[in-house]
């Protein structure tokens, strides 16, 4: 009797899981459910090329419609899953009930909201989906000024897009520096100064007290210290929350802000897996259980889970890596920072191209590269292999980072 795999969520992780299952030999039905009407698409361009009008919707699709048909993947667009009954192994949408033998939850995360007065006003937006970007793009074109609450990756990417379009842009950040949880201070300072040179203003250590407006539309962000930041459009980018509603309803274990999974991506129910933003997995590079919100993580976990379901050996846990594009900067990160590391600068931030290496002894554990793609690729391999570095060579940009390996006695 043929088995059925259901995947809830059709972003990077969900689509990759469907493709990897079919490629791995799963010969039963594959049903992929998306709450969105659009074909599954790349999310990173939403804050950059799509928002700037440089790419169309067709140009950001993950796969063309023919892929799902030719791969015999049943794509349910615009059909959100409303209920999960783990006992019956059944999901329910507004249209029907569907049974499964294996279920993969790739439900992602949703934008965190600010619970302050005026948060319901028109003209306050978040960017998480194509529908969000469709609404923001014409509003951004018409706006003369923009206030962005949150100096994270999405906030800074939108700031870059807005500044390039000549919009007066202010970023409001609650911490004393940008990306305090993701980047070392030297990277935070570099990005701050780069944005300032492009005309972006910042408010650090700033708490939002309320949004003010007239006739139902927001006109300003009110800060706790009494300052008023006027803006035609306000973007809130203060992080995401895992979509664990279905999992919680089904009684699955919740941990570390997400859905608890083992080293094979399996939840507390042996027939249900979780991948991507929603999955809280033990990360060997962090030495802790955590959620990683990145395309790379979602795709890697999808491949791992599909391999296990198909009876193949799961690939080794890859080194986490991330990227962000802002103006003409490509910022790439490999590994995860830890307290107490030795930090080594490779190159000069003043030149706009450098890499900050983080070492534990002579072993590389993290690298933060700006416009040095070769360093980033080498760092991923060095971190994965645990290769000892020759520190003087690693600091010297005339030596390829891949070659900066400590000599060992034979």
Sequence spans of domains, the chain: 4-110+242-309, 113-238, 328-403
DSSP label at 277?
Answer: G
- E strand or H helix that includes residue 127: none
User: Cα-atom radius of gyration of the chain, to the nearest Å?
Assistant: 22
DSSP label at 205?
Answer: S
Fold match flag (113-238 vs 328-403): no
Rounded to whole angstroms, how far apart are CA atoms 379 and 172?
33
Q: Please choose, from the candidates 209, 239, 237, 203, the residue with its C-alpha nearest in 3D space to the C-alpha of residue 221.
A: 209
Give, for all 410 residues of the chain, the pLDDT tens digit: 479 999 999 999 999 999 999 999 999 999 999 999 999 999 999 999 999 999 999 999 999 999 999 999 999 999 999 999 999 999 999 989 999 999 999 999 999 999 999 999 999 999 999 999 999 999 999 999 999 999 999 999 999 999 999 999 999 999 999 999 899 999 999 999 999 999 999 999 999 999 999 999 999 999 999 999 999 999 999 999 999 999 999 999 999 999 999 999 999 999 999 999 999 999 888 888 999 999 999 999 999 999 999 999 887 778 999 999 999 999 999 999 888 899 999 999 999 999 999 999 999 999 999 999 999 999 999 999 999 999 999 999 999 999 999 876 54
Rounded to whole angstroms, how far apart are CA atoms 286 and 256?
13
- Per-residue HEC secondary structure of 76-103 comes to ECCCCEEEEECCCCEEEECCCEEECCEE
Q: What angle do CA 210, 214, 220 make, to 5 degrees?
A: 40
| One CATH from 3.30.200.20, 3.50.50.60, 3.30.70.100, 3.90.1150.10 for 113-238 | 3.50.50.60
CATH class as words, domain 4-110+242-309: alpha beta
Rounded to whole angstroms, how far apart are CA atoms 38 and 34?
9
Give the CATH fold of the 328-403 domain.
Enolase-like; domain 1 (3.30.390)
């Amino acid at each position: 009797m043929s088995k059925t795999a259901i995947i809830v969520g059709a972003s990077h992780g969900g689509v990759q899981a469907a493709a990897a299952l079919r490629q791995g030999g799963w010969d039963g039905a594959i049903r992929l459910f998306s709450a969105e009407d659009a074909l599954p698409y790349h999310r990173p361009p939403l804050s950059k090329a799509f928002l700037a009008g440089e790419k169309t919707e067709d140009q950001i699709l993950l796969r063309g419609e023919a892929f799902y048909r030719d791969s015999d993947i049943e794509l349910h667009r615009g059909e959100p899953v409303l209920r999960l009954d783990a006992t019956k192994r059944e999901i329910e949408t507004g249209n029907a009930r569907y049974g499964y033998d294996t279920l993969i939850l790739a439900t992602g995360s949703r934008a965190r909201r600010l619970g302050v007065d005026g948060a319901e006003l028109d003209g306050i937006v978040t960017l998480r989906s194509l529908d969000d970007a469709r609404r923001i793009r014409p509003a951004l074109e018409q706006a003369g000024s923009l206030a962005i609450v949150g100096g994270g990756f999405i906030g800074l990417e939108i700031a870059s897009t807005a500044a390039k379009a000549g919009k007066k842009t202010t970023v409001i950040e609650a911490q004393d520096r940008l990306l305090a949880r993701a980047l070392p201070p030297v990277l935070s300072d570099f990005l701050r100064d780069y944005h300032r040179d492009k005309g972006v203003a910042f408010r650090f250590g700033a708490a939002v007290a309320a949004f003010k407006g007239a006739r139902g539309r927001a006109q300003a962000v009110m800060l706790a210290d009494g300052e008023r930041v006027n803006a035609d459009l306000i973007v809130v980018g203060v992080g995401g929350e895992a979509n664990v509603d279905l999992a919680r309803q089904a009684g699955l274990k919740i941990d570390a802000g997400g859905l608890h999974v083992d080293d094979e991506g399996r939840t507390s129910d042996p027939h249900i897996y979780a991948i991507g933003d929603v999955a809280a997995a033990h990360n060997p590079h962090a030495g802790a259980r955590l959620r990683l919100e990145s395309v790379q993580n979602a795709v890697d976990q999808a491949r791992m889970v599909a391999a296990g379901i198909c009876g193949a050996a799961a690939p080794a846990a890859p080194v986490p890596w991330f990227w962000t594009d802002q103006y003409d900067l490509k910022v790439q990160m490999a590994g995860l920072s830890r307290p107490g590391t030795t930090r080594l600068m490779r190159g000069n931030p003043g030149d706009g191209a450098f890499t900050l290496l983080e070492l534990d002894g002579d072993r590389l554990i993290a690298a933060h590269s700006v416009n040095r793609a070769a360093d980033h690729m080498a760092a991923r391999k060095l971190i994965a292999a645990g290769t000892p570095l020759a520190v003087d060579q690693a600091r010297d940009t005339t030596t390829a980072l891949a070659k900066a390996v400590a000599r060992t006695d034979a």
